Structure 1
Amino acid sequence: MNETHFYTRRQNLLERMEEGVAIIAAAPHALRSNDTEYPYRQNSDFYYLCGLNESNAALVLIKTGMETKTLLYVEAYDAEHALWNGAKTGLDEARKRFRVDEVRDIADYPEEIKELLREHVNLFIDLFDESPFLAQAKSAAKELRETRGVKRHIRSIRDVTHLIRTLRLIKQPEEIETIRKAVAITARAHHEAMRQCRAGMREYQLQAAMHYVFLNSGAASEAYGAIVAGGNNANTLHYVDNRDELREGELVLIDAACEWELYASDITRTFPINGKFTAPQREVYEKVLDVQMRVIEAIRPGVKRDWLQKFSEELLCDALIDLGIVNGNRDALIEAKAHKKYAPHGIGHWMGLDVHDPCPYVDVAGESLAFEAGMVMTIEPGLYFRADDESVPERYRGIGIRIEDDILVTQSGHENLSGMIAKTVADIEAACNQQ
């Protein structure tokens, strides 16, 4: 993405802000152990507004009447830091790269923040971010309130993330293309896992095969901790140990994907370890697939997410009745939440810069949002039958199946961005048996 995209996002945020000062801080480095750190991952809101993937930086947006001003604070060049960890963008390069009114040294921020807040009544920050830059801003606001001669001071500290994440909800064309890139790499990785999978392998070996595809394709990392769950492990929804042996005659559920330029993909496929579904596995699999296909087909502008959730639960409950897992009237079963034992999670979530994009699901009145073109949502129905659950017919015990795709809402309906990944029984068996 180029700087024009980030400039436009900043302008959109300023248009939606009331008068005041907004401060968005870069993410700090996260300690892994002792003096080692996790690979750096930027604060998604900060990246969305300026595209800088470095720590120790802050973006300041100021609005006074019709006038606006944008300041970007970054680290100055430091030869010692460059020697050990590589050079950062620095002040001169930032002035060339970013369309902001001023680039300033982050070392000056603590002294300058009080003056930046002077004569403003609103401060917009992430209320739950513990960044020292935001703590310094709140401290400066308090000091100004107690200073004689200051006629106007911060009277309201407000959440900026809702404004930003409302903007993030509708993906622009450049964002959609970035997600497409992440999905395309993830597709290759899933197909490679299907091709390599054999009984006797360990779950982590399939994860390694996928991770190789991610890194070899230029993706910086997984979008989230991979789930590679053989057999009954699939019935632990957030299984991440990935250490067990893959056994003959069982399924493996893989929920794994990469991110590209910080934009996520999120894909789940479930397939037979030996490349051939058993009859009971196929029965359950095709029920889940039918639910997924029907839910995806219902996605179009104007449809509300809470309706989609209700529709998916009705379909999953019908599937459970057909399989003989539950018995009775569908509406009564749903009212009693009988289906939730076997289909416990929601039908999907927003996706973008975060794999679970924290964009709003409801409007200001608390009503479920209707789909609009540009929204991206995962659709991931699942049925889970634990091996020790004697309420389930024996032939289905130990089967856990989830199928997940990334769906773009379009002007005329929807597009399955991950539709190229094998999903039908025939296509999966062909992919598993490809040499």
Structure 2
Amino acid sequence: MNETHFYARRQKLLDRMEEGVAIVTSAPTQSRSNDTEYLYRQNSDFYYLCGFNEDNSILILVKNPELTKTILFVEAYNAEHALWNGARLGVERARERFRVDDVHDISEYATMIKDVLREHINLYIDLYSDSTRLTEVKNAAQSLHSTRGVKRHIRSIHDVTHLIRSMRLIKSDEEIETIKKAIAITAEAHHTALRKCRTGMLEYQLQAAMSYVFLNSGASAEAYGAIVAGGNNANTLHYVDNRDELRDGDLVLIDAACEWELYASDITRTFPINGKFSDAQREVYEKVLDVQLRVIEAIRVGVKRDWLQMYSEELLCDALIELGILSGERSTLIEAKEHKKYAPHGIGHWMGLDVHDPCPYVDEAGESLAFEAGMVMTIEPGLYFRADDESVPERYRGIGIRIEDNILVTEEGYENLSAMIAKSVEEIEGICHNQL
């Protein structure tokens, strides 16, 4: 995406603001241990507004009746930093690159912020951040409040993240293409795992095969910590140890995906380690797959997300009844949440710059949002039967299955962005045996 797209987003945010000042900060670096740091990942809201991937940066938007103004603070070029860690963009090159009204050295921020806030009544910041930069802002506002000669001062503080993340809910064509690129790489990685998986491998070896595809294809990073869960490990929803042996006769659940230009994909597939579903595994797998396909088919503009969640729970409860795991009337079972023991998580979540995009799920009245074209979400039903759960018929114990795809809401209904990734029993077994 080029600067035109980021400029348009900044203008849209200014349009949504009342008179005042909005401040969005970059993500800080994070220490891993002693003097080493984690690979840097930019604050998604900051990146959304300016596409800048350096830390120690701040974007300020000013709106008043006479004019609007955008100011970017960046770290100046430093020869010693360039020697050890690579060159910063610097002030002058930032002026050339970004369509902002002014660029300053970040070292000037502390002295300038009071003048930026002067005579404004609204302040838009991340209300839940403990950033030292935002503490400086609050201190400056407090100082102005008690300064003689200042006629107007900050009297309302608003959550800027809510405005930004409401904008992030509807993806542009450029964003969708970026997500598709991430999914295309992830598809190759999942198919690689299907082809390479063998009895006796270790979970992390399968993860390594996928990580190679991500990095070799130029992906910026994994979108989240990969789950490679053989056998009963699949029944731990956020299993990330990935250290156990993959055993003959078990399934392996892989929830792993990559980012492309900070945009996420999020895919889960479950398949037999030896390449052949047992009868019991196939029974459960096809129940989960049927639920997923039916839920996806129900997606269209105007459908409310909470209805989709309830619909998915009804289908999963029916599946549990048909498998003989639950008995009774569906409505009674759902009211008692009996199905939640085996299907504990939601049907999906928003996806975009974050794998769990923190966009709103409800409107200003607290009502569930209706789908609009341009929304991207995951659909990921699952059934989980622990090996030690004697309430489950013995043939199903130790089986955990989740199937997850990434769905774009369109004017015509939906597009499954990850439809190219093998999912049917026949496709999976074919790839496992190198027949597809």
TM-score by length of 1: 1.00
Report deviation, 1:434. Answer: 1.1
Report deviation, 1:92. Answer: 1.1
**Which residues in structure 2 correspond to 1:27-46 (within 5 Å)?**
27-46=27-46
Aligned equivalents of 1:432, 1:168: Cα separation in 2 = 38
Report deviation, 1:348. Answer: 0.1
**Aligned counterpart, 2:112:** 112
**Aligned counterpart, 1:417:** 417
Aligned equivalents of 1:132, 1:157: Cα separation in 2 = 17
3-state DSSP class of the match of 1:280?
helix
1:377-403 CA distance string (max 9 Å, x none): 000000000000000000000000000
**Aligned counterpart, 1:272:** 272
Q: What is the one-letter code of the residue matched to 2:184? A: A
**Aligned counterpart, 2:94:** 94
Paired residues in the alignment total: 435
Aligned equivalents of 2:196, 2:66: Cα separation in 1 = 60
3-state DSSP class of the match of 1:331?
helix
**Aligned counterpart, 1:314:** 314
3-state DSSP class of the match of 2:191?
helix
**Aligned counterpart, 1:406:** 406
Report deviation, 1:55. Answer: 0.2
Aligned equivalents of 1:184, 1:298: Cα separation in 2 = 24
1:289-320 CA distance string (max 9 Å, x none): 00000000000100000000000000000000
Q: What is the one-letter code of the residue matched to 1:153? A: H
Aligned equivalents of 1:101, 1:17: Cα separation in 2 = 18
Report deviation, 1:148. Answer: 1.3
**Aligned counterpart, 2:348:** 348
Report deviation, 1:66. Answer: 5.1
**Aligned counterpart, 1:434:** 434
Q: What is the one-letter code of the residue matched to 2:271? A: F
Q: Does 1:8 align with 2:12?
A: no
Aligned equivalents of 2:146, 2:274: Cα separation in 1 = 72
Aligned equivalents of 1:3, 1:151: Cα separation in 2 = 37
Aligned equivalents of 2:86, 2:130: Cα separation in 1 = 26
**Which residues in structure 2 correspond to 1:12-411 (within 5 Å)?**
12-65=12-65, 67-411=67-411
3-state DSSP class of the match of 1:219?
coil
Report deviation, 1:179. Answer: 0.1
Q: What is the one-letter code of the residue matched to 1:390? A: E
Q: What is the one-letter code of the residue matched to 1:165? A: R
Aligned equivalents of 2:130, 2:88: Cα separation in 1 = 23
Percent of matched pairs sharing the same residue: 77
1:165-223 CA distance string (max 9 Å, x none): 00000000000000000000000000000000000000000100000000000002100
3-state DSSP class of the match of 1:421?
coil
Aligned equivalents of 2:81, 2:424: Cα separation in 1 = 52
Q: What is the one-letter code of the residue matched to 1:404? A: E
Q: What is the one-letter code of the residue matched to 1:58? A: I
Aligned equivalents of 2:35, 2:81: Cα separation in 1 = 15
Q: What is the one-letter code of the residue matched to 2:231? A: G
1:22-57 CA distance string (max 9 Å, x none): 000000100000000000000000000000000000
Aligned equivalents of 2:177, 2:67: Cα separation in 1 = 33
Aligned equivalents of 1:148, 1:387: Cα separation in 2 = 71
Aligned equivalents of 2:135, 2:55: Cα separation in 1 = 16
Q: What is the one-letter code of the residue matched to 2:81? A: H
Q: What is the one-letter code of the residue matched to 2:213? A: V
Report deviation, 1:351. Answer: 0.1
Aligned equivalents of 1:423, 1:219: Cα separation in 2 = 23
Q: What is the one-letter code of the residue matched to 2:374? A: G
Aligned equivalents of 1:65, 1:130: Cα separation in 2 = 31
CA change 1:336–1:141 in 2 (3 A) is same
Aligned equivalents of 1:66, 1:140: Cα separation in 2 = 23
Aligned equivalents of 1:320, 1:66: Cα separation in 2 = 63
Report deviation, 1:346. Answer: 0.1
3-state DSSP class of the match of 2:187?
helix
Report deviation, 1:128. Answer: 1.1
Q: Which 4+ runs in 1 deviate beyond 6 A?
A: none
Aligned equivalents of 1:392, 1:43: Cα separation in 2 = 44
1:239-279 CA distance string (max 9 Å, x none): 00000000000000000000000000000000000000000
Aligned equivalents of 2:432, 2:38: Cα separation in 1 = 34
Q: What CA RMSD, in Å, does the superposition of the two structures yield over aligned residues?
A: 0.6
Q: What is the one-letter code of the residue matched to 2:359? A: C
Aligned equivalents of 2:374, 2:11: Cα separation in 1 = 19
Aligned equivalents of 1:129, 1:109: Cα separation in 2 = 18
Q: What is the one-letter code of the residue matched to 2:228? A: V
